[in-house]
A and B are shown apart, each in its own frame.
Chain A
Amino acid sequence: MMCQAECRHYLQFSFQLPDVYQVFESVAKKYDVMNDMMSLGIHRVWKDLLLWKMRPFPGTQLLDVAGGTGDIAFRFLNYVQAQHQRKQKKQLRAQQNLSWEEIARKYQNEEDSLGGSRVMVCDINKEMLKIGKQKAHAQGYKAGLAWILGDAEELPFDDDKFDVYTIAFGIRNVTHIDQALQEAHRVLKPGGRFLCLEFSQVNNPLVSRLYDVYSFQVIPVLGEVIAGDWKSYQYLVESIRQFPSQEEFKEMIEDAGFQKVTYENLTSGIVAIHSGFKL
């Protein structure tokens, strides 16, 4: 099993393997558009489901790795802000008869609309991060958000730092997945949660057939038409096929020291969310 995972990089691609960094450098500007086109918008639901599974509470420290354009980070901020607002509404209703001193004190306290939640977006690709920063600025995300250029295999963070580590559609592009998983384990606090949203293996033969046709006939063409880049999207489709199965990946996560490792298939296994805890 491990040999299979290690040999992954020697498996055949149909053409000269492009440099992964360059792939993302060239797709960065069209990344979001292509995601919508290729998945018919469904990637948004997958990412929403990842947040639903996470259920972060205000005060959660999140590290989103390979999260360049910010999709997970923004969803996280929306979620904790909405939670914080609900909490405040409840508090207000319970505080209808405050004294003048108490009211004055409330004005003096600096309001953190996120309740102490923070997300660091770490990506190895500068272009992806730049797009993410621009989006954040355009959509008004400021507080509780930091962008860092870093390597998933050697993270620039202390041990035991984060409550949650997420990596959405990023881990299959990492050269040494086991190292990335070990780093994830290291930087999580005890009790912290690892969550990975990634393409996986389809469990339904009919869906599998349609998925293959769509992947190999449609996606690279879309890539050429929309992004002017057939090769990068051919790489994308093939890298998806090379990624370990749900069970294999679960074992890799367990090997990194995580416990209570589970996975959930989405859309007949086209995508899976793997979860593990550092206990």
Chain B
Amino acid sequence: MLSGVCGRLASALRGTRAPPSAVALRYEASTNELINEELGIAYPIIDGIPNMVPEAVRMTHQNKKQEEVEQH
């Protein structure tokens, strides 16, 4: 039931963004987050409510790897 709610959430939130540019968010059931792979960010979902305050953004692994590559 929760995944149904979040699935609907994800489609309802298709227009939401994280940082500056226009992005679409995908619901990731395994981590219960809304993820944008393009930007490598994820927002947690707590009690069925996505936490999208700026501080809540998490960098996904792909992004971290990219950053490490860039640093070299």
B13 contacts the other chain (Cβ, under 8 Å)?
yes
- Would B49 and A157 count as touching, CB distance under 8 A? no
Q: When the two chains form their complex, are residues B17 and A126 in contact, meaning their CB atoms are under 8 A apart?
A: no
Which residue of the partner chain, among B48, B49, B52, contacts A156 with CB atoms under 8 Å? Answer: B52
Question: B47, A148: Cβ atoms under 8 Å?
Answer: no
Query: Which of B15, B18, B50 sits near A149, CB closer than 8 Å?
Result: B50
Contacting residues, chain B, for A124 (C-beta < 8 A): 53
Q: Which residues of B contact A34 (CB under 8 A)?
A: none
Pick from B13, B22, B54: contact of A148, CB under 8 Å: B13
Chain B, Cβ-Cβ closest to A122? B52
A147 at the interface (CB under 8 A from B): yes
Please tell me if the beta carbons of A158 and B50 are within 8 angstroms of each other in the complex: no
When chains A and B are docked, how far (Å) is the Cα of A158 from the Cα of B56?
18
Tell me which of A118, A126, A150 contacts B12 (CB under 8 A): A118
Contact-residue bracket for chain B: 20 to 34
- Please give the distance in Å from A113's CB to the nearest CB on chain B: 15
Q: Is B69's CB within 8 Å of the partner chain A?
A: no
Beta-carbon contact of B15 and A158 below 8 Å: yes
Q: Which residue of chain A has its CB nearest to the CB of B48?
A: A133
Beta-carbon contact of B53 and A149 below 8 Å: yes
What 0/1 readout, one digit per residue, does chain B (34-69) give for beta carbons within 8 Å of chain A?
A: 000000000100111111111010000000000000
Query: CB of A120 within 8 A of chain B?
Result: yes
Q: Does B3 contact A (CB under 8 A)?
A: no
Q: CA A126 – CA B46 in complex, angstroms?
A: 9
Q: Is B16 an interface residue (CB 8 A)?
A: yes
Q: Which of A103-155 contact B (CB under 8 A)?
A: 118, 120, 124, 126, 129-130, 133, 146-151, 154
With an 8 A cutoff between CB atoms, is A43 at the interface? Answer: no
Q: Is A75 part of the binding interface, using a Cβ–Cβ cutoff of 8 Å? A: no
Q: Is A161 an interface residue (CB 8 A)?
A: yes
How far is the CB of B31 from the nearest CB of chain A, in Å? 17
CA A130 to CA B16, docked complex, whole Å: 20
Name the residue of chain B whose CB is nearest to the CB of A145: B12
Q: Which residue of chain A lies nearest to B18 when distances are taken between CB atoms in the complex?
A: A156
Q: With A156-B17, A158-B16 given, is the CB distance from A148 to B52 under 8 Å? A: yes
**A105 CA / B63 CA spacing, docked (Å):** 48
Complex contacts, A129 vs chain B, CB 8 Å: 49
- For the complex with contacts A149-B49, A149-B50, 5 further pairs of A-B residues with Cβ separation under 8 Å are A149-B53, A151-B54, A158-B15, A158-B16, A158-B23
Can you give 10 contacting A-B residue pairs, CB < 8 Å? A120-B12, A120-B13, A126-B47, A133-B47, A146-B13, A148-B52, A156-B18, A156-B52, A158-B17, A158-B23
